[in-house]
Structure 1
């Protein structure tokens, strides 16, 4: 099967219908996407599929054929971080950073819909992304600075 990840075309094996997460990590060596709960409840595995934050742990790889997939590795362009990555880095919001890839990709989709965002819109838009270190206030404050 052929899939488009980070603007590159790949041919992948789909025997047994693996999850998108398995294909990204095991076949494409894109390990930035994390395995968290395996039930789409924590957000650690989120990637963008046609611009929509999608839990890759429960998404069959076959379901994304013909769609555009963006992982955390695909955000950096020509040596520059995405504005969401930049503000979260500048504000030093993460501690362990396990949730960071899913948080960042969700925030990218959220900020591409509307800017500036109210605190309530950020809270609602980031719902479904769990941070073990509980840095939610810092994340909300940082995302509030994107205009």
Structure 2
């Protein structure tokens, strides 16, 4: 499972001209699910996101975790796009929707986060805070 985590001043997601999720200061998480991912992976990655110390403390150091800030999670199968050969990315590493959606929803629920509409064409707007952007990945263990 991969997550692109962005610290934001604000972010929103719109589907068919209707805003379905919007947050103030916090994190925008773009989440990709692959075939080997399971509930344990989703839980571990959600816990990792919640514990990230990427917000400034009183001295201006990145030392605070999420605390009372908000989270917006958007499904993003293209995080598993592979463009090593040619110019058209292949998405064979991305999990099928019937596998990915329940894991996305579990991840989102564990964080108490707002979300996008799985599988929909979404417009995501954000104002980076910093900017601070991290790529996280947790793999299933055998």
Q: TM-score scaled to structure 2, two decimals? A: 0.25
> Which structure has more strand as a fraction of its residues?
2
> Which structure has more helix as a fraction of its residues?
1
Q: TM-score scaled to structure 1, two decimals? A: 0.24
**Greater relative contact order (Cα < 8 A, sep 6+):** 2
